[in-house]
Amino acid sequence: MIWLGIDTSNMPLSVAVVKDDTLLVEWTSSVKITHSVGAMPAVEEALKQANLKPTDLDAIAVSEGPGSYTGVRIGVTIAKTLAWTLNIPLVGVSSLETLAGNGYLFNGLICPIMDARRQNVFSAVYTNTGEPKLGDGHYSLEDLLAKMTDMEEKIIFIGHDVAIHWDAIQLALGERAVRAPYYLDLPRASVLIAQAKMKDMPSNEATHHFVPDYKRITEAEANWRADQKKAGNSHE
Amino acid sequence: MSKDQLILGIETSCDETAASIVRNGTEIISNVVSSQIESHKRFGGVVPEIASRHHVEQVTIVIEEALKQANLQPADLDAVAVTEGPGLVGALLIGINAAKAFAFANELPLVGVHHIAGHIYANQLVEPMQFPLVALVVSGGHTEIVLMRDHGSFELIGETRDDAAGEAYDKVARVLKLPYPGGPHIDKLAHEAEEVIAFPRVWLEEGSYDFSFSGLKSSVINYMHNAEQRGEVIKPEAVAAGFQASVVEVLTAKTLRAAKEFNVKHVIAAGGVSANKGLRAALESTFEREGIPFTVPPLFLCTDNAAMIAAAGSVMFEKGILSTMSMNGKPGMPLFNW
Ligand SMILES: [Zn+2]
């Protein structure tokens, strides 16, 4: 069984090819180039290095978000199109779950962090066996840290955006907060594939209806709903 | 061409998700368009993030439908052509990445097409282009006169200095409180009018092929304002007719002057606003009178579609103008020669 994994949900890019239980090729970078320029050449190169053709693939795993809207969509569009045209299943995994996967060997809880601007984050808290303790979501940093105060264990914070919020995290949690080393801060498509393998395999027909999990409605929609409320209309 | 050439076109530059298969650059085998107009209506215009979300939901469905309607397999195709720009960047990226993944999986060449070249080449699906040719390109984002001496040769001889014609239509439609998208509503109202308000024509300096519509838009707003203050009843039909008459007269006259100056064999109209009945009628009668062959695509090929992208991509593919897997969306892409 040969898997291709793609994560473009935030600034880092990761692409991997896994055959059964062997990681054949993995490309992970956090160089600022747009995923539209970098992702398909990375897929092409990964398969070439693995000495495989697109038709050798058996399944595709993709990071379904949350993260950068455009970033998530690029990965999902590539994965959807490949899965559909190659007639193989497509499995989506939360980008937060994949990042948390880098910390499964940590003795404590795991908190993946992605900055969502204005003191907000996409985050979650997972156990080191991958069970969600606090679900994936869009949180204000303050709310997130408040929810952690009565979790007793140590918590490792993972992600290249942890740096932005590290002072506030330490202030709130003190010694209980552990910062991941840099080499765990980038999502890895091999972890994504391992997590995808644990999920139910969707039918090939489901691929057309696969959509990113944005975790947020659009700003236009939010404004529109607020205007409707103000005008006293109930929305559809 | 010994064997038929089959090109899959993909277009997602604005609010239509579209795929089409075209044979030999001239014959539509299938043409699928999934429109989002309903989703953007309540916002009074296209919301880029919502457009991108729709594209990612629709893109594989639309491509599959294009193949199904054509009764073809990916292996039957010769190349994949996709709109590379200009347009909404987030929207462009969906079509581009779908096209790249599809081309990669099926080992097909990839062609990146300029959206306006696509609109121009929609005419190839109607009648072969004769060179030299003048194209009037009018849409929500563009108002241009392009001189073509051959395939893939585009000389921009005039363009708008402010609003695009379609943009002016949308803005005036808003002033007249017409629903989005406003253009077709103004066109319809204009045809119902019994009187016509006189608005100025903006010709700019002598000999210029450029356009300016923002002054006309202001004239309409001023007229409405003054009429309101004087307590007069405003007849929207008369305003629409006056506005349309001004736009159509300037577009037609400048296109005709360009056609004569460059001694062209063919005049074509392209872009969403070329679906406007008033404009089509004026161009048709003008060039018939002048004895210059004139083509405008049927309405479904004036608005955004993927058949036009495949038609332009067909000629680019023949010329060997190919793209790579690192193709990016180019929101401000200039029209380039091939
Ligand atoms: Zn267009």
Tens-place pLDDT, residues A35-91? 999 999 999 999 999 999 999 999 999 999 999 999 999 999 999 999 999 999 999
Q: Which of A41, A81, A211 minimises the CB distance to B98?
A: A81
pLDDT for res A220? 87
B55 Cα to chain A: minimum distance (Å)? 9
Q: What is the pLDDT of residues B282-306, one digit of tens each?
A: 999 999 999 999 999 999 999 999 9
- pLDDT per residue as tens digits for the range A183-232: 999 999 999 999 999 999 999 999 999 999 998 888 888 888 888 888 87
Beta-carbon pairs below 8 A across chains A and B = 105
Contact with chain A for residue B61, Cβ under 8 A: yes
Number of Cβ within 10 Å of residue A173's Cβ equals 18
Cβ-based neighbours of A72, under 8 Å, separated by 6 or more: A8, A9, A63, A64, A65, A66, A95, A212, A214
pLDDT confidence of residue B185: 95
Give the span between the Cα atoms of B66 and B70, in whole angstroms: 6
- Inter-chain contact B105–A86, Cβ cutoff 8 Å? yes
Q: What pLDDT, in 10s, does the model give residues B156-184?
A: 999 999 999 999 999 999 999 998 888 99
B45 vs B43: CA distance, rounded Å: 6
How many percent of chain B have pLDDT more than 90? 93
Spatial separation of the C-alpha atoms in residues B155 and A128, rounded to whole Å: 63
Helices marked H in A87-218: 95-101, 141-148, 162-173, 189-197
CA B66 to chain centre: 21
Task: Report how far ligand 1's centroid is from the alpha carbon of B190 (Å).
Answer: 23
Kindly give the distance from the C-alpha atom of residue B123 to the centroid of ligand 1, in angstroms, as a whole number. Answer: 14
Rg (CA), chain B: 20
- The Cα angle at residue A30 between residues A25 and A31, in degrees rounded to 5: 110
Distance CA A35, CA A64 (A): 15
pLDDT of residue A235: 46
Is the per-residue pLDDT at B215 higher than 60? yes
Which residues share a beta bridge with B11? B18
**Distance from the alpha carbon of residue B247 to the mean position of ligand 1, in angstroms:** 19
A147 to A78, A94, A173, B126: CA distances (angstroms): 36, 21, 11, 64
Comparing alpha-carbon positions, the chain B residue that sits nearest to A77 is B98
Angle at the Cα of B325 from the Cα atoms of B323 and B328, rounded to 5 degrees: 75
Question: What burial class does residue B257 get, using C-beta atoms within 10 Å of its C-beta: 0-12 exposed, 13-18 middle, 19+ buried?
Answer: middle
Mean pLDDT, chain B, rounded, equals: 95
A234 pLDDT above the threshold of 80: no
Residues in chain B closer than 8 A to A218 (CB atoms) = 47, 49-50, 53
Q: Is B207 left (phi over 0), alpha (psi -120 to 50) or beta?
A: left
Q: What is the Cα–Cα distance from A142 to B281, expressed in whole angstroms?
A: 63
Name beta bridge partners: A179.
A157
Q: Do B145 and B258 meet the contact criterion of CB atoms below 8 Å apart? A: yes
What's the one-letter identity of residue A185? D
What pLDDT sits at residue A236?
A: 42
| Greatest C-alpha distance within chain A | 62
Residue A177: beta bridge partners? A155
- Cβ contact (<8 Å) for A78 and B97? yes
What is the mean predicted confidence (pLDDT) over B314-322? Answer: 98
Percent of chain B at pLDDT > 70 equals: 99
Assess contact for B135 and B145: CB atoms under 8 A.
Answer: yes
Contacts with B150 (C-beta within 8 Å, 6 or more apart), sequence order: B131
Amino acid at residue number B333: M
Instruction: Quote the ligand 1 centre to B165 CA distance (angstroms).
Output: 13
A86-108 pLDDT per residue, tens: 999 999 999 999 999 999 999 99
pLDDT of residue B100 exceeding 70, the answer is yes
The answer to whether residues A73 and B90 touch, using CB atoms and an 8 Å cutoff, is: yes
pLDDT band at residue B221 under the 50/70/90 scheme? very high
Q: Output the pLDDT for position A233.
A: 62
List CB contacts (< 8 A) between B59 and chain A: 77, 80-81
* Cβ contact, residue pair A80, B56, below 8 Å: yes
pLDDT confidence band for B36 (50 / 70 / 90): confident
Q: What is the pLDDT of residues A133-190, one digit of tens each?
A: 999 999 999 999 999 988 989 999 999 999 999 999 999 999 999 999 999 999 999 9
Question: CB of B49 within 8 Å of any CB in chain A?
Answer: yes
Note the pLDDT of residue A36. Answer: 94
What is the distance of C-alpha B115 from the center of its chain?
A: 8
Alpha carbon distance A34, B92 (integer Å)? 14
pLDDT at residue number B137: 97
Listed in sequence order, the residues at least 6 apart from B154 whose beta carbon sits closer than 8 Å to its beta carbon are B117, B120, B146, B147, B148, B335, B336, B337
Do the beta carbons of residue B197 and residue B223 sit within 8 Å?
yes
Cα A57 versus chain centre, distance: 22
What the block records as the tokens of A111 is 């908190």
pLDDT value at B2 more than 80: no
- On whether any CB of chain B is under 8 Å from the CB of A52, the answer is no
- Residues B221-241 have a mean pLDDT of 93
Q: Is the pLDDT of residue B121 over 50?
A: yes
Residues 6+ positions from B311 with CB-CB distance below 8 Å: B9, B22, B25, B26, B118, B121, B122, B124, B125
* ipTM computed for the complex: 0.95
Instruction: Report whether A60 contacts A3 (CB < 8 A).
Output: yes
User: B198 exposed, middle or buried (CB, 10 Å; 0-12, 13-18, 19+)?
Assistant: exposed
Alpha helices, DSSP H, located in chain B: 37-41, 48-70, 89-105, 115-121, 165-175, 182-192, 214-229, 236-261, 277-290, 299-302, 307-318
